[in-house]
Each structure stands twice: as C-alpha cells, then as structure tokens.
C-alpha cells in the first residue's frame, strides 16, 4: 500500500501539473514579441510587473527590457514550473516525481511555507531535518521614562537633561 492519501496520487499530480505548467518557448516568444506590454510577466502570474510594463509601454523601455528578458525566460519558466510542482506534490502529500524522497514538512508550518520547504529541500538548499521557518525576533523594548531627581518630573526616554528644570539626568 502507498502512504499517499490518494489512491493514485502520481496520476493526479501529473494531471494537475499539466494544467499549470508553462512552456519555455512560449515564454521566450512572448517576451520577444509582446514584451512591450509585459505579456510574458502575465504568463508567469507576475501581474504587478505586467501592469507596470503596460503603464510604461509608451516609453519604449519595456520593449528593451522585454528583449533582454527573453534570454532569462527559460530559467524563469523552469523555476515557475518547479514551484508549481512542489505545491501540487505538497498538497497531495507525495514527493515530486523524479525528485527523490517525500518531503518532510515540519508540523505547524504555514500552508504557504510548505511548498517553499518542499522546493527548497528538493533543490538541495536544505535537508528535510534542516528546514525551520524563520523566527522574527521581537523589537527591543523602549527605555523607561526617567523621573528627574531634582523636580521629579517624568522625562521622555533617552533624555539627558530634565525638560522642566534642566538638571542632568
């Protein structure tokens, strides 16, 4: 028996992957011929950049950038496809076919971090045991307000002299 939650998870994976995968040649052609309008960015679901290209299409700058970006499109399309494959495999609870062992995603990881963890592990960036979501440290506490020893007035944090009497703190 398979440990996957679906009876034929690999077939489901391929079916879903074929609906979301992008073709490198199409990406290159879109960047080359319609790069002025940012169509190649819309193709990879980079809507913000696509809108930016549309807004500045009259300047000619997106035309030049589209020509340059047609050389980078194969890598971008492969990255997009790898991220989509990792997300689909993580949702099915299987390894991406051809990438090795199933991904061990730590419990308590957000749904967004799961495909990223899967992609990072499959790409060799981290091991299964080494992926730990980043912990953001709390901001440092503000210094306490100091009362003046002379007039007992409360001064703002970090003040070197009393606001009321001018006494050094």
Spatial distance between the Cα atoms of 30 and 66, rounded to a whole number of angstroms: 9
Q: At what angle do helices 61-69 and 47-55 cross, to 10 degrees?
A: 140
Q: With 0.75 as the threshold, say if the pTM is over it.
A: no
Q: Write the pLDDT tens digit of every residue in 92-147.
A: 888 777 765 555 555 554 444 445 555 555 554 444 444 444 454 565 665 667 78
| Among 59, 56, 120, residue whose Cα is nearest residue 87 | 120
pLDDT of 23 higher than 90: yes
The predicted pLDDT at position 154 comes to 82
Classify residue 117 as exposed, middle or buried by CB count within 10 Å of its CB (0-12, 13-18, 19+). buried
Q: What is the 3-state secondary structure (H, E, C) of 85-115?
A: HHHHHHHHCCCCCCCCCCCCCCCCCCCCHHH
- The pLDDT of 26-46, averaged and rounded, is 95
In percent, the amount of the chain with pLDDT more than 90 equals: 41
Spatial distance between the Cα atoms of 146 and 97, rounded to a whole number of angstroms: 63
């Amino acid at each position: 028996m398979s440990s996957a939650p679906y009876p034929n998870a690999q077939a489901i994976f391929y079916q879903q992957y074929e609906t979301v995968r992008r073709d490198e040649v199409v990406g290159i052609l879109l960047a080359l011929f319609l790069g002025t309008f940012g169509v190649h960015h819309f193709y990879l679901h980079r809507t913000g950049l696509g809108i930016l290209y549309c807004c500045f299409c009259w300047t000619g700058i997106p035309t030049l950038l589209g020509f340059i970006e047609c050389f980078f499109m194969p890598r971008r399309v492969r990255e997009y496809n790898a991220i989509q494959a990792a997300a689909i495999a993580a949702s099915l609870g299987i390894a991406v076919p051809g990438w090795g062992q199933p991904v061990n995603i730590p419990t308590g990881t957000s749904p967004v971090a799961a495909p990223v963890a899967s992609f990072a592990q499959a790409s060799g960036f981290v091991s299964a045991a080494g992926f730990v979501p980043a912990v953001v440290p709390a901001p440092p506490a503000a210094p306490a307000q100091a009362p003046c020893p002379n007039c007992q007035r409360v001064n703002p944090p970090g003040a070197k002299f009393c606001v009321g009497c001018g006494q050094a703190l």
